[in-house]
Amino acid sequence: MIAKFSTLGSLLKRRKKQGDDGSIVVEGARKATGGRARTRIVMTMAVFFGIYSAIAGRLVYLGFQSPDMSGGPQNRVTASRPDIVDRNGEVLATDIKTASLFAEPRRIVDADEAIEKLSTVLPEIDYEQTYHKLKSGAGFVWLQRQLTPKQQSDIMQLGIPGFGFRTEKRRFYPSGETSSYIVGLTNIDNQGISGMEKYIDDQGLTDLQASGLAVARDLKPVQLSIDLRVQNVVRDEVANGMERFHAIAAGAVVLNVKTGEVMAMASVPDFDPNNPYNAQDKDRLNRMSAGLYEMGSTFKSFTTAMALDSGKVTLESRFDATRPIRIGRQTIHDFHSKGRVLSVPEVFIYSSNIGSAKEAEAVGIEGHREFLHRLGVLEKMQTELPEVARPTEPKVWKQVNSITIAFGHGVSTTPLQTAVGCAALMNGGFLIEPTFLPRTAQQAMEVAKKVVSEKTVEGMRYLYALNAEKGSGKSARVPGYRVGGKTGTAEKVVNGRYSKEKNFNAFVAAFPMDDPQYIVLTIADEPKPEKPGMGATAASNAGVMAGNIIRRSAAMLGVKPDFSHENGATLVSYQ
């Protein structure tokens, strides 16, 4: 019996156990079953661990790779910009939302079919370029930026797989070409590239955009000094003047002589900033600040002021203009020769080249050069507008240079700088750099430089008024507004020589002459006679434009008419 149990124990090496329900459980069998379960669990865990390890490894690998720039647009591809408004709050530039078309080439099934369908809405699209984009295999490519709502709707109806739209911002200019050279332009990514748009970017907007802080609700409008009402008048008059006088270009500026604020400025030909397809054409130039010209007889304003301010010449001084001046190979004539001795007022109203040359001779070469630099007409102008040209002058001034510069030949400057220099001769003798931002008279005086004496200013006001009364400035007279001014008809240099057929004409006007508030300077480039038999001097075109601008805008500028002077006479007394 003992041997029986002993044998059984050695064979089975296991024990029987009675369960709660009376069943017999073999412990060794249970252990074998548990081992197989654990094996399955471990294998399953290993599979999942392998999968997640592969995913994690791929993520780590991608994290160390250079970003794929074709995978989509940058977050701030068109960041917000502040509105630009005129001095009265009228909107000149603002952001609007627009849709731009993109494609995901990896999802494009048939590039040829996609382009064929797209061309029914966008016929101008470049087939070859678009085909290469769609076959590139990239994750993202732009196809067309800044679509119209109709174009977006029509493309959506095509139902092309792999095409999509992104909402962007673009610039809208309600006044169109009226103030295009002042306000400027933005590029396709809404970044300023010219005019005050570029100035705003340079003042820190670009940094705000880069940091993501250029949020529309936080950007205050940028107010300019220009008055859109006056700007409309100026642009209209120069555009009409260019056509009327058959000129290749025309322009004008209205400047506040007390503050240096540019109230309006226009140059034609210009462009529509909402569709600037021709903005880069050679003839699209802001001639008022970026064009350099010999300003002709308008420079006699500076020559006479210089002579008076030197103390060596008075209004009673007289100069012999009976014979032309010969210097080297050059002979200086008067256009309207009187063939006699002229007083300083006569030199001015008859626009005598000979008399002006002798005024400069009385001051001397160094004094002449110093005076023009003092007035800023030969220095690069400091203002907000980026498009500003640097004046040119002879490296070494000789006697012949001083003589020709006295009547506006031999140096080149911008029309806007000429207006600023003339403003100093009208406002009490202070040179105030021009600004396209609002500025009070008090703020202007903080940056102003005294350049001529009060006595000189009184003399120049008298001469401006006298010239409008009896001289070449008659065409700019406006009854009730006491206008004064000076014409300038300069022969243009063609192939290194002065042309008798091509002129650059200008007229600088100031009003009202008893206490000038504004300067209006107009230009006409290569004007022709309005009608056969008529002249083409500055009085007949630039002067007419100046008079029209004053007539239409004086009330907007706050200048009240005064008809107490007979026939609107502008003559003032000089003590």
Both tokens of 111, joined, read 């590039």
What contacts 230, CB < 8 A, 6 or more positions away? 254, 263, 264, 553, 556, 557
Query: What is the SS3 assignment for 308-333?
Result: HHHCCCCCCCEEECCCCEEECCEEEC
Say if residues 305 and 363 touch (Cβ distance below 8 Å): no
Q: Is 417 exposed, middle or buried (0-12, 13-18, 19+ CB in 10 A)?
A: buried
Please tell me the distance from the alpha carbon of residue 427 to that of residue 256, in angstroms, as a whole number.
9
Q: How far apart are CA 288 and CA 445, in angstroms?
A: 24
Q: What is the spatial distance between Cα 265 and Cα 375, in angstroms, rounded to a whole number?
A: 21
For residue 548, is it left (φ>0), alpha (ψ between -120 and 50) or beta?
alpha
Compute φ and ψ for 190, nearest 5 degrees: 65, 35
In terms of phi and psi (left: phi > 0; alpha: psi -120 to 50; beta: otherwise), the region of 159 is left
Q: How far apart (Å, rounded) are the C-alpha atoms in residues 302 and 543? A: 19
Classified as helix, coil or strand, 549 is helix
Q: Dihedral of CA 166/171/174/177: which sign?
A: negative
Please report, in angstroms and rounded to a whole number, the separation of the first and last CA atoms in the chain. 158
149 half-sphere exposure, CB direction, 13 A CA radius = 2
Long-range residue pairs from 560-564, CB within 8 A, at least 24 positions apart, any chain? 561/479, 561/480, 561/481, 562/480, 562/481, 562/482, 562/512, 563/479, 563/480
Bond prior to 269 in cis (omega within 30° of 0): yes
Residue 500, H or E segment: strand 497-511
State how beta strands 16-18 and 24-26 pair.
Answer: antiparallel
- Pull the structure tokens for residue 324: 């032309």
Task: List residues bridging with 517 in a β-sheet.
Answer: none
Show the tokens assigned to 531.
């009608």
Which two structure tokens, joined as six digits, stand for 61?
A: 């690998």
State the catalytic residue, choosing from 297, 301, 402, 540. Answer: 297
Are 191 and 201 in contact by the 8 Å Cβ rule? The answer is yes
CA-closest candidate to residue 113, choices 92, 97, 127, 100? 127
Task: Round to whole Å and give the CA distance between 122 and 4.
Answer: 101
297 is catalytic: yes
Distance of CA 292 to the CA centre of its chain: 17
Rounded-to-integer distance, Cα 304 and Cα 485, Å: 13
- At 547, the amino acid letter reads G
* Listed residue (392, 307, 383) closest to 345, CA to CA: 307
Here the tokens at position 201 are 């970017």
In 45-179 the beta strands, taken as DSSP E runs, fall at: 84-85, 91-103, 141-147, 163-172
Active site residues: 297
